[in-house]
Amino acid sequence: MTIGREKPHPVSTTENPFPVGFRWGAATAAYQIEGAVDADGRGPSIWDTFSHTRGAIADGSTGDIACDHYNRFRDDVRLMAELGLTAYRFSIAWPRVQPTGRGAPNPAGLDFYRRLVDELLGHGIEPWPTLYHWDLPQPLEHDGGWPERDTAQRFADYAAHVHHALGDRVDRWTTLNEPWCSAFLGYGSGEHAPGRRDPIAAVRSAHHLMLAHGLACQAIREANPSAEVGTTVNLYAVSPATTSPADADAARRIDGLANRIFLDPLLRGRYPADVLDDISVATGLDHIHPDDLVTIAAPLAHLGVNYYSRYVVARSHHDGPLPLSHGAWPGADDIQFAEPHGPTTDMGWAIDPAGLTETLVRLHRDYPAVPLYVTENGAAFDDIVGPDGRVDDPQRARYIEQHLGACLDAISHGAPVRGYFVWSLLDNFEWAHGYSQRFGLVHVDYTTQRRTPKTSAHWYADVIRRHRLSP
Ligand code: IFM
């Protein structure tokens, strides 16, 4: 398979600074950093169950302790302040708030997030909570999980409890993180919790996650009509491997299953007809009720974009590697994902900042206007603590610099990009990869819990202070 699209992407040296009010952030997620899985009445989530399942996590690890952020959050907020972050994106663990996923909230669980938010505000850092970053309470999975419609209503109830507790100090809410991963890796390929391999369940989950988002928007806005509520999706640039019509069709199908299956309901109030055609043969569509799309398309205060890479795809000739995440793409088993030709991160993901510009400009061009935030972008590299105790990671600084340049390019094309969050603040539990992949600006020694800001952290702090990239 030939791919002729490896072009160097020059960092934008524009003199234009980032817009006034641009948010400079970093992101984390509850299960990846908090640890303290039994503290203060927290219940089990699907990730507790999954990570304790033999063979599920590459290095056999769990999030039981992770970065012990639950006990060290004040130190971590101090680190954020030293970096000069103006916003911090974190997630709230549903099983801390409702240990069984339903019923009265657990005051001790909510108190943790009150303390965290107060600490952030005390340091002048804007809290950006995400309500769901994959840790479904295990009892709800026993009741059927995301393939069941009722889970969406349970999520809306949970959202209302959290908003009731924190709405006096949090202005901006994000409902979901990366519903594609929850649906297609959780229920399709089984690489993520709860580890099911059932394409029909995956497609139903995708819709119920969207519905959960819409119902949560309603619940929060009923309490506060001016609350700013948005959501976050993981988007990919998608290109055909060759100019053949078959590869163009493969790119259309993967773009549909990765991107448009979420963007169109959220922003246009309908599913793309071609995507429905592609998936309906395998699943039937009786789980989509007539009014759901109105609920899902509630106006968004912002759209969070998590961007990491580009997919280059081809119709399978059955002579190449298996598709990436085999099973995660219902009805697309005949599509191959090409091995990247250019530089990659340690995750094996192609480094393609032009794909971020393409993604942001496409949103601006093809969809109704909505403020855009890059809510995750970052790279895993094998960072090593040097004899002097420093962690030198120029490749991560370069990666972030290139992607910030891509944001500037998108802004120069009119895309309303209002902020950027590095994934991640800390090295952490990288899901099925365990602790083998380090994404942090800050190195974590998991034996001692010592935090060491890497050179990329110092570099990022300098960009934030100057509010621009170096020429
Ligand atoms: O670690 C994850 C995060 O939880 C969701 N977005 C992608 C990151 C890197 O894989």
Q: Is 376 a catalytic residue?
A: yes
| d(C-alpha 259, C-alpha 454), whole Å | 33
Range 420-433 average pLDDT: 99
Q: Tell me how many degrees the CA angle 75-76-77 measures, rounded to the nearest 5.
A: 90
For the Cβ of 437 lying below 6 angstroms from any atom of ligand 1, the answer is no
Q: Name which residue sits closest to atom 9 of ligand 1, judged by CA.
A: 430
β-strand partners of 443: 452
214 has a pLDDT exceeding 90: yes
390 has a pLDDT exceeding 60: yes
Nearest to 19 by CA among 407, 302, 361, 359: 407
Instruction: Tell me the pLDDT band of 267, cut-offs 50, 70 and 90.
Output: very high
Q: Quote the domain boundaries for residue 151.
A: 23-466
For the Cβ of 135 lying below 6 angstroms from any atom of ligand 1, the answer is no
* Contact partners, residue 148, CB within 8 Å, separation at least 6: 208
| pLDDT tens digit sequence for 52-110 | 999 999 999 999 999 999 999 999 999 999 999 999 999 999 999 999 999 999 999 99
| d(C-alpha 145, C-alpha 149), whole Å | 9
For the Cβ of 421 lying below 6 angstroms from any atom of ligand 1, the answer is no
Tell me, what's the pLDDT at 410?
98
* Structural domain count of the chain: 1
For the Cβ of 379 lying below 6 angstroms from any atom of ligand 1, the answer is no
Q: Which position among 119, 126, 141, 376 bears the catalytic label?
A: 376
For the Cβ of 430 lying below 6 angstroms from any atom of ligand 1, the answer is yes
14 has a pLDDT exceeding 70: no
Percent of the chain with pLDDT over 70: 94
Q: Name which residue sits closest to atom 10 of ligand 1, judged by CA.
A: 430
Tell me, what's the pLDDT at 12?
47
Range 256-276 average pLDDT: 98
Residue 276 lies in a domain: yes
For the Cβ of 376 lying below 6 angstroms from any atom of ligand 1, the answer is yes
Q: Which position among 119, 178, 358, 430 bears the catalytic label?
A: 178
Residue 433 lies in a domain: yes
Residue 441 lies in a domain: yes
| pLDDT tens digit sequence for 149-207 | 999 999 999 999 999 999 999 999 999 999 999 999 999 999 999 999 999 999 999 99
Range 384-396 average pLDDT: 97
Residue 360 lies in a domain: yes
Atom of ligand 1 nearest to the CA of 134: 4
Residue 434 tokens, joined: 């365990």
Percent of the chain with pLDDT over 90: 90
Residue 4 lies in a domain: no
Residue 410 lies in a domain: yes
| Amino acid at site 445 | D
Atom of ligand 1 nearest to the CA of 177: 5
Distance 389 CA to ligand 1 centre (A): 27
Tell me, what's the pLDDT at 448?
98
Range 17-40 average pLDDT: 98
Task: State the burial class of residue 2 (Cβ atoms within 10 Å of its Cβ: 0-12, 13-18, 19+).
Answer: exposed
Distance 56 CA to ligand 1 centre (A): 17
Range 128-148 average pLDDT: 99
Residue 45 lies in a domain: yes
Residue 58 lies in a domain: yes
Average pLDDT, the chain: 94
Provide the pairing of β-strand 303-315 with 450-453: unpaired
Atom of ligand 1 nearest to the CA of 428: 1
Tell me, what's the pLDDT at 284?
85
CATH number of the domain to which 77 belongs: 3.20.20.80
SS3 76: helix
| d(C-alpha 413, C-alpha 360), whole Å | 9
> 386 vs 82, 171, 380, 452, CA distance in Å?
22, 41, 18, 11
Nearest to 87 by CA among 118, 115, 125: 125
Distance 222 CA to ligand 1 centre (A): 31
Instruction: Tell me the pLDDT band of 10, cut-offs 50, 70 and 90.
Output: very low
| Amino acid at site 197 | R
Distance 430 CA to ligand 1 centre (A): 7
452 has a pLDDT exceeding 90: yes
| pLDDT tens digit sequence for 282-301 | 778 999 998 999 999 999 99
